[in-house]
Structures are given as C-alpha cells and as structure tokens.
Amino acid sequence: MKLPMFSILAVLMLSLANSGFAEGIDAPYPEGYRSWFHVKTMLIEPGHPLENPFQGIHHVYANPKAVKGLNTGTYANGAVFAFDLLKYTEKDLTVQEGERKLLGIMHKDTNRYSSTGGWGFEGFAGDSKTRRLVNDGGQSCFACHTSESNNDFVFSQIRK
C-alpha cells in the first residue's frame, strides 16, 4: 500500500513534534528544581497588569548554569529557570502559599529555540509533569520577555 507523499510528511512532522525536535516545543520538566538556587519570590496581587493568569506567589529557581549566567550576564546552553506559581490565602495578617497554579520554565538551547531568543518556554498545569500549557512554541512567552533583550530575555536578577 502506497501512502501519498503529504501523508508521509504529515506523519514525519507529527513524530518530530512529539519527540521534541521541532523548534520551540517540548522543553523538559525540570526534575528537582526546588533544590536549585532560589533567585527570588514575588507576589502579584489583584489589579496588576499580569493578574490574569499570573496572580499569586512566584518562586524563581535557577539551575547551576543559570546561576552562572545570573552572575556573568551570559547564559550557556543548558541553563534553566523554573517559575513556580502558587495560589495564596491571606489570613491573620499573613500570606500563605496555596496549591500550585503552574510551573513555568525557560530552557536555554540556542540551536533548538532560535526563533525565541535561544530559550524554550514551557508551562505545566498544577502539579502535573505532563499536562503542558504552551501550545504556540513559546511565542507568547517570548513576546513578553523581549522587553528584557538586554538581559538575554531573563527578568530575574540575582540579588547581591
């Protein structure tokens, strides 16, 4: 049985996309990220321009290559940032962490993610390691990060 050429190409492109070789997709889940260097914590409250969808407590973690980049201003391939976004509650004059809304990551690979400044962007829903939220190859994430082009598209800075 002969398959039409467009069917063969479609199957090939789907396999590449699902295997993570297509550009701008499938940045891996960052196992063990909570043991990485804690860069900062921030709270976005109601009324902030990024309230929807980023209202909550933000913890940002950096793997060793990303920490080196924070210190030098140059990020090597393999640098990864994890952005842990949590709901929160206010009670008895405290702000307490709630459940995870999402885990976002930036993964530096200049060859694989050339159309998004050398960074792969991905988001994982809640506590899932497989339910991915980024469906545009990271273009919407990158559009926001372009304001930080002088910092290799990284918002976080190390506190010295």
Residues 46-75 have pLDDT tens digits of 999 999 999 999 999 999 999 999 999 999
pTM above 0.75, yes or no: yes
If one compares 4 and 113, the residue with the highest pLDDT of the two is 113
CA 109, CA 119: separation in Å to the nearest integer?
Answer: 6
Find the mean pLDDT for residues 144-150.
95
Joined together, the tokens standing for residue 154 give 């990284």
Fold type of domain 5-151: Chalcone isomerase (3.50.70)
Helix or strand or coil: residue 155?
coil
CA 105, CA 98: separation in Å to the nearest integer?
Answer: 20
pLDDT confidence band for 27 (50 / 70 / 90): confident
Cβ contact 101:87 at 8 Å: yes
Give the DSSP H/E element, type plus range, for residue 68: helix 64-72
Spans of all domains in the chain: 5-151
Residue 5: pLDDT above 80? no
